[in-house]
Structure formats: structure tokens, C-alpha cells
Structure 1
């Protein structure tokens, strides 16, 4: 099953890209329906790197909802103008362990209308065997909530270039940086078409 959303966020694409990779933003857009806490020894980083990140979940902040592994990959498309964050993790325990497929892709690019704002596309593909159809309304509703929260928060986002990039040297953003000032840690070569429809 698939949930697909597309909206214009009231912030510039660099600020949206930084926010999208922030565990704090994920916690805020999920609240109060779902609370997340890090299961990593060092806790949540300021910005997630590619790779696996275990998290614990509590529905409504109170009811234990099991553990999930967030498994992130980052790529760019269309000559770096579209930045993509993809989570192909899975539920480890609790209700989400029933899922047999989890493919959540978020794409950031400039608003095609030239407004300086961000075109945000979000696609979730999930499977849970015979339970897939029954789960779709819950995921659809949660994704609507996430989008509402993203739109509410976006005007407050700004890019603090260098705060989370150890390779950044003040006054020299180009050397050692990736696409649009993003650290090479967060970029990958263009290897094909975007998984999101335009």
C-alpha cells in the first residue's frame, strides 16, 4: 500500500533539507501521536547520518509501542537539485514488527514556481501481509498529521550552515562540501530515477 503527499513548505530548500535529517524535527512532527526516543548509546545526534538507527516508540507518549530500526540512505537526483532521504528500516518489536516492507522516501527541491520555498514530496510504501489493507487508514491519518506539522514548523526553519558539518570552515563553504553546502557524508551520485513521482 502507498501513501503519497506533495506540498510546498514555507522555507528554503537548504533549511528544509537540514530539518528533514534532524531527529528533533521527527520527534516534533510525530508528537503527540507518537513519541520517539533513541536506543543508541549516545542518544540522538543533531543530524542523522546514513545507516541504521534504533528507536523506541510510545503511542501518545505513554503506551509502549515497541522498537523500530530507522535505516537511512541519502541521494541526489537531477544534477543535485533534488535531495532524497530514504528509510528502509523495519519494526523490530511491537505492532510495527508485523510489517514485511517499509520504504519511506522524502524528497526536497526548490519550488518550481520560483517562490524560494520548498517542494516536499513524501511517499510511504508498506506491506504487512493480510493486515496491509487494515493498516492503511492508520498510516494515512498519521501521514496527514505529519504533513500538517511540517507545514506548521517550516516557517521557523533556517539553515545554520556549519553547525553540524565538521568539515565546514567558516567563510569557505565550497571546499569539502557536497551539494549546496551539504557535507559529502550526506550526498551520493545520481544512480537513476527518483523513486517519487513528480
Structure 2
């Protein structure tokens, strides 16, 4: 079974890629519904590799352990960057699934390279997939809403406001001076 999202995010593709690789953004994405407690310190940006985390509902109740095992696919298509999570649930309700394959892709939005085409696809298998599809679909809708809300704030260097031009003093405009 499959759960997926396809969104246009209001941010540059480079900013979306950096955000996808950020454990801090992941924590913000799911909070306060779920929190992730890693077994080892989280890096600033994820690189390919594995990490074990405990997921907690509302930051209190353990809902299971998860193996996050990341890899990057940067060569499939020009301009498309894919983060692949080959991890899996280790305990809790999601561990009833036989298969878990999660991919997130970013690319310039068609017709608007200043925005990001974001695609998120989770494939699950096993007898429990039918029962768990609706809760996962609901969680993915939450993800989509949160990603849309968060994306405009991902700029690495915030856009600086235009400087205010000084107005000439009223006296400078007075012909009597």
C-alpha cells in the first residue's frame, strides 16, 4: 500500500533539501504530536547512514522504536534530489508491517524555479498494512500541512528588507532657505 504527497513548497529547492536533511526540522514537523529521542546525538544535517530513535506520543508515551537509515539518490534525474529512508519500525504498532520504504524528493517547481516540487512516498507491506494505512495517511496529511507552513521559513539567508531611503528634510524643500 502507498501513502504519498505532492506539494509545491514556497521555498527554494536548496532550502527544501537542507530542511529534509535536518533532524531539527523533522522534530518540528511532527511536534507536538510525536517527538524523536535518538540513541546518540543527532547531527546538524543527516548524511547517509543509520540511527535508532524512540518515538514518543506528546513527548511522553513511547509508541515504538524506529531505525532511520538514510541514503541519497542524486543521479536519477537532473535537478532532482531524493532522500531515501531504508529504515523500518522496530517496535510498537508500526513494527507489525513487513515492509517500509520511504522516499522524499525535491526539485524546482515546474514554471517557478524559486519554489520546490516536493514529493513524498511511503510504501508499506504486510497483513497489517490495511489496518495501518488510514492512520499513516492521516499522519501524511499532517506532514503536508506542516511542510507547507514551515517551508517559507527555511531560507538559509533570510531576505533582507529594502533599506528605507531617507526623506529630505522639510527645510530642504523650502525655497526660502
Gaps of 5+ in 1: 161-198
1:12 aligns with 2:25: no
> Secondary structure of the equivalent of 1:116?
strand
Alpha-carbon deviations, 1:32-59, whole Å to 9, x = none? Answer: 221111112xx11110110111111101
Does 2:53 correspond to 1:84?
no
TM-score (ref. length: structure 2): 0.84
Q: 5 Å matches for 1:163-182? A: none
Larger radius of gyration: 2
Whether contact under 8 Å (2:94, 2:132) holds in the other structure is no
User: Which residue of the partner structure matches residue 141 of structure 1?
Assistant: 138
Could you say what secondary structure the match of 1:47 adopts? coil
2:70 to 61, 69, 72: 72
Provide structure 2 residue ranges, at least 5 long, that are not aligned to the other structure: 158-177
More strand by share: 2
Alpha-carbon shift at residue 114 of structure 1 (Å): 2.0
Give the CA RMSD over aligned residues.
Answer: 1.2
* Distance in 2 of aligned mates of 1:69 and 1:126: 15
* Equivalent runs, 1:39-58 vs 2, <5 Å: 39-40=39-40, 43-58=41-56
TM-score normalized by the length of structure 1 = 0.76
Alignment length (residue pairs)? 156
CA distance, structure 2, for counterparts of residue 137 and residue 33 of structure 1: 17
Deviation >4 Å, runs of 4+: none
SS of the aligned residue for 1:5 comes to strand
